[in-house]
Amino acid sequence: MNPNENIVLTEAVFYTLLALHTPLHGYGIMQETKSMTGGRLVLSAGTLYGAISSMLDKGWIKALPGEEDSRRKEYVITDTGKQVARAELNRLHELVANGEKIINKTDIL
């Protein structure tokens, strides 16, 4: 992945990448995201399915080999995925730093 590429991740994608630092199946990702955000972010099945499909295409996550007949596929983050999550974290840091600089300053005045 080109680090200069400015990719802005959606919340669903970012949290899925976070959750997949340990292997999980779809339902597990939903529960993990819900608990990480204290119930604020509840991923819908449709959103999550779209996120998973696109991240598989991009190679940010991969499906773990499971039993052939098993419908419950487990996924895990790849190295590329980790880079993408890291880049997003840096972007978010910048966002927070600038927000604090400007919003907090005007609040004090």
Separation CA 34–CA 88 (nearest Å): 20
Nearer to other proteins, 17 or 43 (CB): 43
Burial 80-102 (b: 16+ CB within 10 A, else e): ebeebbebbeeeeeeeeeeeeee
Distance (Å, whole) CA 18 – CA 10:
12
The rounded Cα 15 to chain-centroid distance in angstroms is 3
Query: Least distance in Å: CB of 12 to other proteins?
Result: 8
* 80 touching other proteins, by CB under 8 A: no
Cβ of residue 44: shortest distance to other proteins, in angstroms? 4
> Which residues, 20 to 79, sit near other proteins by CB under 8 A?
25-27, 30, 42-49, 52, 71-72
Which residue stretch of 19-27, 56-64, 76-84, 99-107 sits at the interface with other proteins (rule: CB under 8 A)? 19-27
Q: Tell me the C-alpha distance between 22 and 63, whole Å.
A: 12
**Least distance (Å) between residue 26 CB and other proteins:** 6
Residues in contact with other proteins by CB under 8 A are 10-12, 25-27, 30, 42-49, 52, 71-72
